[in-house]
Amino acid sequence: MAKKKSILDFIRMKKDGEQVAWVTAYDYPMASFAEQAGMDMILVGDSLGMVVLGYDSTLPVTMEDCISHCQAVRRGAPNTWVIGDMPFMSYQTTDEDAVINAGRFIKEADMDCVKLEGGRRVASRIKAITDAGIVVMGHIGLTPQSSGQLGGFKAQGRDVASARELIKDALAIQEAGAFALLLEAVPPELTRYIAGKLDIPVYSIGAGPCDGQLLICGDMLGLFQAFTPKFVKKYANVAEIEINAFREYIEDVKSGKFPTDDHVYHIKDSIEAFNQMFKEFD
């Protein structure tokens, strides 16, 4: 089994030009499969609200939801570096709330790092959490928790003026002490510039090549059916496999093809002894 990575590995990987591959996971089996496949890191994203809990945004996700899913992921992937995603309103209020809630991810769910969304406006939160000794990842570009302000789930930084603001945000996040930055849905030209400008690792989800790539497991495995973002490469169609399996099972049950003799526990005494015993109840 590969040794669990640390921030030193991720910093070295950036220096050596070695790509980091990571996915989201929300439960024990998915985390265990990701670890068995050799994933470099796992994000327990608040996207769990949409992918697993059936909400139409990430906003309803609570700290309790996140902690419980992070605990399950940690049990499934004990040797993988796991990031807990701070949910909406767990850090937007004050630096103190941000530190208390970040601490819960570490103490209650054994996370290695927390991630929060936003640029300069959360710089003081990043600094406060880092000062408490907790590893933080920043996240800018398309930030789903502020999709209302962005006018929806839309790519960001496509014009010079907004790209300039994102560069300022990226620099502020590094300055505040984040160990890495995630860029979501920004053009590759901007990603390349930011990844070259920052000393810390810069990762992408839908932002083109840089120091590593993240995909949402529900998208890449074909589990999430509501929509598929342009940047997703689908590696499987698990929804189709599951639906077909469920259909076949229903047919088997209704037609009597399941269960067969192979799917039952066999008696240890003779059938005569059982028949005799049944008579006691007649």
Query: Cα separation of 248 and 119, whole Å?
Result: 49
103-131 in b/e form (b: 16+ CB < 10 A) is ebbbeebebbbbbbbbbbebbebbbbbbe
Q: Which residues contact 208 (CB under 8 A, 6 or more apart)?
A: 187, 188, 191, 192
> Cα–Cα distances in Å, from 222 out to 27, 178, 179, 225, 233?
16, 32, 31, 7, 10
Among 23, 30, 45, 210, binds ligand KIV (CB under 6 A): 45
Interacting residue with ligand KIV among 216, 220, 221, 223 (CB under 6 A) = 216
Of residues 139 through 178, those in contact with ligand KIV by CB under 6 A are: 139, 144
* By CB under 6 A, residue 85 contacts ligand KIV: yes
From 35, 108, 117, 184, the catalytic residue: 184
* Shortest spacing between CB 118 and ligand KIV, in angstroms: 12
With CB under 6 A, what is the number of residues at the site for ligand KIV?
13
Q: For residues 277 and 250, what is the distance between their CA atoms, to the nearest angstrom?
A: 34
184 assigned to active site? yes
> Where does this chain touch ligand KIV (CB under 6 A) — which range of 15-23, 27-35, 42-50, 173-181?
42-50
Which residue, 52, 1, 60, 57, is CA-closest to 24? 52
Among 14, 35, 41, 47, binds ligand KIV (CB under 6 A): 47
CB of 93 to ligand KIV, least distance (A): 19
Q: Is 191 in the site for ligand KIV (CB under 6 A)?
A: no
Q: Which are the catalytic amino acids?
A: 184
Residues near ligand KIV (CB under 6 A) are 24, 43, 45-47, 85, 139, 144, 182, 184, 205, 214, 216
